[in-house]
A and B are shown apart, each in its own frame.
Chain A
Amino acid sequence: MTTTTTPTTTVSPPPVSPRERFKVPGAFLLGAILLVGVAPLVLSDFRLNLLAKYLCYAIVAVGVSLAWGRGGLLVLGQGVFFGLGGYAMAMHLKLADAAATGQTLPDFMQLYGTGDALPWWWQPFANPLFALAMTVLLPMAVAALLGFLVFRRRVKGAYFAILSQALAAALSIWLIGQQATTGGTNGLTGMQGFFGYDLSDPVNQRMVYFVIAAVLLLLMAAARQLFVSRYGELLVAVRDSEERVRFLGYNPANVKLVAYVVAAGMAGLAGALFVPAVGIISPALIGIVPSIGFVIGAAVGGRASLVGAVLGAIAVAWAQSTLSDAFPAAWTYLQGLLFVLAVGFLPGGLASLGVVLRRRRPRIRTTPTGETA
């Protein structure tokens, strides 16, 4: 140890100054005002409830933007985490409903006649705090386990996407198979109350909407902080060149794991909020097809842009509900086409349309600005 000791130099901070970091983008502010201020005033109860549902998908999209847009992790199994969060919440609400009417078992269990005892794994969900914690912790734990095993062995790219998708398939098949304790294909439906509030009351439905909108805005703000942090830089670096990051002394597995787990937690929270807003959670909402659906919105809107991903998720969910009722066939073609065009020819999604057009324009007008995109 006679070599010259180099002083441990502090790593330079990310190229985002504190003032810039906490600057609130205009688009975000406008969106917040529209969501919290304008929408509840101008929309009917029915439309507001639909919007609440779309916002749940938007919350998933925040996580997708983090894991896929920033981290390059194609998360095809978000349905798993959405479902775990949703079922955790629904189990508590079912138990609370049953308790309110003096029953010990949720209605569907009485119907299928599984005996008098509540399954052991249902019992803790009677506790509201436990159930609430589980809506986020359970998805995060599952993601942490799978992510740890997969990333540690450098299973990546397509392999990871397929494994996460297989997990979604396995969970939905398992849920369908355990009809007596999970409600099977029907899932858990007919929730009456939400922590003591009557869900059929429109006033309480508005409250649920406000909760969902607030969670979405908070998570978007948190995700933005994560994007501009050193971790955010590292995540992009791993996406672009995992080997270089490894040679610099970081462990890419941990970086990816954090993104995957956080995205899973967001999807779980979205699932939990989806249940009081829509009143159902079932295997049909969380299998392979819906899991890819969670990615579609973000891809169309722009996976790398947070606002783009969120708006894309809302727009695609809206288009799905309105168009699929009126023209089911046309919607499926449109959905496929949107996907082919957005991912294949506009990888940045609609959010990058402006940039793409701006880049094209100088070629025609030949303005000698020398600006690089």
Chain B
Amino acid sequence: MTVVLNQSFTGISIGAVLLLIALGLTLTFGQMGVINMAHGEFIMAGAYTTYVLQKSISGAGLSLLVALPVAFLVAGAMGALLEWLLIRRLYTRPLDTLLVTWGVSLMLQQLARDIFGAPNVQTAAPDLLTENIPVGGAITLANNRLFILGLALLCVLGLTIVLRLTPLGRRIRAVVQNRDLAEVSGIATGRVDRMTFFIGSGLAGVAGVALTLVGPIGPTMGTNYIVDAFLVVVVGGIGQLKGSVITAFVLGVLQSVLEYSTTVSVAKVVVLVAIVAFLQWRPQGLYTLRTRSLA
């Protein structure tokens, strides 16, 4: 029983990381149908921001708190720049954005290597987050995992508030639902696109800060997560926060339980098979916008 609970908790924390990464992706993917392979490098940018800040601000806890908004701004600015330079020229050819942003991601990885060196670096976690909470018997909840879970839920809450209650959110939802209709209704879709990219990429930066708590920081750290995050978006339904939240936790728990009963590599394969099987049942993902378009 304790094994099941411990594995579920691990699964939930894997899911929280996936969710943080997928939140930004589902926003940018849903907005323009753009597949941003450089999203992983925005995560990396957030992680390196934490690293840099920790060198200049003493106190791991304070630097972590400062890193959250700063990483959001840094990664967000990179995303907005990418959108302005490249993606807005490509949005009639969504498939090509995947390849173009892959080129960008190669360059950003090399840039990180040139600035910070190829070996992975590490940040110190604040004392509070290195402890565990024992919960009755053998079950322990790692504080850093709980922090990530809290951060993920906070981001979902924040994003929901922005999307549901602000004029910007209303415009974003309008563009996701029907770009042409939004445009003729007087919405400056180009500006909305750039803001969406800013927010989506900024969330990747926040995810990067969270990842410094559970692993090393390196030039290729984004690549490790990007495919899994895309799977979350595909299964959850594009542009659907609800779908991403459910899918991230389900996949996280599935992955963790399978890893325990088989091996890491077999778990990956089984998860992929499960996803393909799921798409037989709901090819458009868990939640979809109802439209009258074909297919």
Per the bound structure, the CA–CA distance linking A340 and B105 in Å amounts to: 10
Per the bound structure, the CA–CA distance linking A174 and B280 in Å amounts to: 24
CB of B9 closer than 8 Å to a CB of A: no
Given A173-B265, A337-B107, A340-B86, the answer on whether A288 and B227 have CB atoms closer than 8 Å is yes
Q: Is the CB of B93 within 8 A of A158?
A: no
Residue in chain A with minimal CB distance to B114: A329
Per the bound structure, the CA–CA distance linking A369 and B90 in Å amounts to: 31
Q: Is the CB of A174 within 8 A of B106?
A: no
User: Which of A169, A177, A338, A339 meets B266, CB within 8 Å?
Assistant: A177
CB of B156 closer than 8 Å to a CB of A: no
Taking CB atoms and an 8 Å cut-off, the chain B residues in 229-267 that contact chain A are: 230-231, 234, 263-266
Interface size bucket, B side? 35 or more
Segment with Cβ contacts to B, from A81-89, A111-119, A149-157, A265-273:
A149-157
Q: Is the CB of A344 within 8 A of B33?
A: no
CB of A166 closer than 8 Å to a CB of B: yes
Per the bound structure, the CA–CA distance linking A173 and B263 in Å amounts to: 11
CB of B179 closer than 8 Å to a CB of A: no
CB of A109 closer than 8 Å to a CB of B: no
Taking CB atoms and an 8 Å cut-off, the chain B residues in 258-292 that contact chain A are: 263-266, 268-269, 272, 275-276, 279-280, 283
B227 surroundings in chain A (CB, below 8 A):
162, 165-166, 169, 288
Query: Binding site of A, secondary structure by majority: helix, strand, loop or mixed?
Result: helix
Per the bound structure, the CA–CA distance linking A161 and B263 in Å amounts to: 26
CB of A74 closer than 8 Å to a CB of B: yes
CB of B96 closer than 8 Å to a CB of A: yes
User: Which of B86, B95, B103 meets A158, CB within 8 Å?
Assistant: B95
In the assembled complex, how far is the CB of residue B16 from the closest CB belonging to chain A, in whole angstroms? 21
Residue in chain B with minimal CB distance to A74: B95
- A residues contacting the other copy or chain, number (CB 8 A): 47
CB of A226 closer than 8 Å to a CB of B: no
In the assembled complex, how far is the CB of residue B10 from the closest CB belonging to chain A, in whole angstroms? 18
B95 surroundings in chain A (CB, below 8 A):
72, 74, 157-158, 161
Taking CB atoms and an 8 Å cut-off, the chain A residues in 147-195 that contact chain B are: 149-150, 153-159, 161-163, 165-167, 169-171, 173-178
A289 surroundings in chain B (CB, below 8 A):
223
Q: Is the CB of A243 within 8 A of B106?
A: no
CB of B177 closer than 8 Å to a CB of A: no
CB of A144 closer than 8 Å to a CB of B: no
A165 surroundings in chain B (CB, below 8 A):
227, 230
Q: Is the CB of B103 within 8 A of A340?
A: yes
A299 surroundings in chain B (CB, below 8 A):
99
Q: Mark A335-360, 1 if CB is under 8 A from B, else 0.
A: 11111100110010000000000000
In the assembled complex, how far is the CB of residue B295 from the closest CB belonging to chain A, in whole angstroms? 5
CB of A51 closer than 8 Å to a CB of B: no
Given A154-B283, A289-B223, A336-B103, the answer on whether A177 and B276 have CB atoms closer than 8 Å is no
Q: Is the CB of A332 within 8 A of B109?
A: yes
In the assembled complex, how far is the CB of residue A295 from the closest CB belonging to chain B, in whole angstroms? 7
Given A289-B223, A336-B104, the answer on whether A344 and B89 have CB atoms closer than 8 Å is yes
Q: Is the CB of B86 within 8 A of A163?
A: no
CB of A146 closer than 8 Å to a CB of B: yes
Per the bound structure, the CA–CA distance linking A233 and B51 in Å amounts to: 55
CB of A333 closer than 8 Å to a CB of B: yes
B276 surroundings in chain A (CB, below 8 A):
146, 149-150, 163
Per the bound structure, the CA–CA distance linking A343 and B227 in Å amounts to: 21
Residue in chain A with minimal CB distance to B106: A336
Given A74-B95, A339-B103, A344-B96, the answer on whether A155 and B109 have CB atoms closer than 8 Å is no
Q: Is the CB of B268 within 8 A of A154?
A: no
Per the bound structure, the CA–CA distance linking A333 and B104 in Å amounts to: 9
Per the bound structure, the CA–CA distance linking A178 and B266 in Å amounts to: 9
Given A163-B276, A174-B269, A329-B110, the answer on whether A340 and B104 have CB atoms closer than 8 Å is yes
Per the bound structure, the CA–CA distance linking A166 and B263 in Å amounts to: 18
Given A336-B106, A338-B103, the answer on whether A288 and B223 have CB atoms closer than 8 Å is yes
Taking CB atoms and an 8 Å cut-off, the chain A residues in 3-30 that contact chain B are: none
Per the bound structure, the CA–CA distance linking A173 and B264 in Å amounts to: 8
CB<8 Å pairs between A and B, sample of 14: A146-B276, A153-B283, A158-B35, A158-B94, A159-B279, A163-B279, A166-B272, A178-B265, A242-B295, A329-B113, A332-B106, A343-B96, A343-B99, A344-B96
Interface residues of B (CB under 8 A from A): 29, 33, 35, 86, 89-90, 93-96, 98-100, 102-107, 109-110, 113-114, 223, 227, 230-231, 234, 263-266, 268-269, 272, 275-276, 279-280, 283, 294-295
Known: A159-B279, A173-B268, A177-B263. 17 other contacts (CB 8 A): A149-B276, A161-B35, A163-B234, A170-B272, A174-B266, A176-B265, A177-B265, A292-B102, A332-B106, A336-B105, A338-B103, A339-B99, A339-B100, A340-B86, A340-B100, A343-B99, A343-B100
| Pairs A-B, 7 closest by C-beta atoms | A177-B265, A339-B103, A336-B106, A336-B107, A153-B283, A332-B110, A340-B103
Interface residues of A (CB under 8 A from B): 72, 74, 76, 146, 149-150, 153-159, 161-163, 165-167, 169-171, 173-178, 242-243, 288-289, 292, 295, 299, 329, 332-333, 335-340, 343-344, 347
